[in-house]
Structure 1
Amino acid sequence: MISSINPSVKGISILIPGILLSLAFDVITPLVFLIFILTITFLFGDVSIKRWLMFFAPLSLFALGLAWTSMLHTNEKYSGGELLVDFWWIDITTGSLQVGVSLALRSMCFISLSLLFALTTDSTKLMLSLMQQLKLPPKLTYGILAGYRFLPLFKHELDLLRQAHQIRGVSRKKGIRARFGRMKRYLIPLLANAIRKSERVANAMESKGFTGDRNRTHYHEMRVRSRDWVFLSSMVAALIFAFYLSYELGYLNIFGRTF
Structure 2
Amino acid sequence: MLLHEVNPSIKAFAIVISILILSVFFDPITPLIIILLTVTATFLLATVSFKKWLLLFAPFLFIALMYVWSTMLFPRLQEGDNVIWEWGFLTMTAEGFRRGVSLGLRVLSFATLSIMFTLTTKPTDFLLSLMQQCKLPPKLAYGIMAGYRFLPLIKEEFQTLQNAHRVRGVAKARTISEKVKQLKRYVIPLLAGAIRKAERTALAMESKGFTGEKNRIFYREITVTKIDWLFFVLMISAVLLSAFISWKLGYLQFYNGEL
TM range (shorter): over 0.9
Q: How does the TM-score come out when normalised to structure 1?
A: 0.94
For residue 81 of structure 1, report the CA deviation from its aligned partner: 3.6
Q: How does 1:33-48 map to 2 (within 5 A)?
A: 33-48=34-49
Q: How does 1:139-178 map to 2 (within 5 A)?
A: 139-178=139-178
Structure 2 stretches lacking a partner, 5+ long: none
Whole-Å separation in 2 of the counterparts to 1:137 and 1:106: 34
Q: How does 1:174-213 map to 2 (within 5 A)?
A: 174-213=174-213
Match in the other structure for 1:225:
225
Task: Tell me the amino acid that sits aligned with residue 39 of structure 1.
Answer: T
Task: Tell me the amino acid that sits aligned with residue 7 of structure 1.
Answer: P
Match in the other structure for 1:253:
253
Check whether the contact 1:6–1:223 (CA below 8 A) recurs between aligned residues. Answer: yes
Match in the other structure for 2:66:
65
Greater shift in the superposed pair: 181-190 or 150-159: 181-190
Aligned length: 256
Match in the other structure for 2:82:
82
Check whether the contact 2:130–2:136 (CA below 8 A) recurs between aligned residues. Answer: yes
Check whether the contact 1:80–1:93 (CA below 8 A) recurs between aligned residues. Answer: no
Whole-Å separation in 1 of the counterparts to 2:114 and 2:58: 14
Match in the other structure for 1:137:
137
For residue 171 of structure 1, report the CA deviation from its aligned partner: 2.9
Whole-Å separation in 1 of the counterparts to 2:65 and 2:214: 45
For residue 249 of structure 1, report the CA deviation from its aligned partner: 1.0
For residue 141 of structure 1, report the CA deviation from its aligned partner: 0.9
Tell whether 2:99 aligns with 1:99. yes
Whole-Å separation in 2 of the counterparts to 1:203 and 1:183: 30
For residue 63 of structure 1, report the CA deviation from its aligned partner: 1.5
Greater shift in the superposed pair: 147-156 or 20-29: 20-29
Task: Tell me the amino acid that sits aligned with residue 38 of structure 1.
Answer: V
Q: Deviations over 1:224-245 (max 9, x none)?
A: 1111111111111111110110
For residue 74 of structure 1, report the CA deviation from its aligned partner: 4.0
Whole-Å separation in 1 of the counterparts to 2:77 and 2:23: 20
Whole-Å separation in 1 of the counterparts to 2:216 and 2:77: 57
**Sequence identity of aligned pairs in percent?**
46
Whole-Å separation in 1 of the counterparts to 2:147 and 2:74: 42
Match in the other structure for 1:122:
122
Whole-Å separation in 2 of the counterparts to 1:210 and 1:76: 62
Structure 1 vs Structure 2 CA RMSD? 1.7
Structure 1 stretches lacking a partner, 5+ long: none
Match in the other structure for 2:28:
27
For residue 80 of structure 1, report the CA deviation from its aligned partner: 5.4
Whole-Å separation in 2 of the counterparts to 1:11 and 1:190: 33
Whole-Å separation in 2 of the counterparts to 1:256 and 1:250: 18
Whole-Å separation in 2 of the counterparts to 1:126 and 1:166: 40
For residue 52 of structure 1, report the CA deviation from its aligned partner: 0.6
